[in-house]
Amino acid sequence: MCTAAAAAIPGTLVHSILSPCGKLQEIRIGHGSGTLVCGVEAEKGQTIPFIKETYGYRTARLLMKGVAPIFY
């Protein structure tokens, strides 16, 4: 999920290697056991994007869905 979030932040290594036509909602990350499909929902912030949600799928089932409270 951290890698998906990094894809939405300009200047990160992950963002720099994204496909030019890649969608943040359909990120595919290759690893030793295959491919993980994940995504991120982000809004523009003043300096960096505000990450609203990240998600990931393995095979046909959802692995995790969670909500983290925001404290200011």
pLDDT digits (tens, 9 = 90+) for 28-68: 888 777 788 899 999 988 888 899 999 987 665 566 777 77
Longest dimension (CA), the chain: 39
pLDDT tops 80 at residue 8? yes
Angle at 17 between CA 25 and CA 3, to 5 degrees: 55
Considering only CA atoms, which of 46, 54, 48 is closest in space to residue 24?
54
Report d(CA 43, CA 50) in Å as an integer: 5
End-to-end CA distance of the chain: 22
Six-digit token string for 34: 């295959």
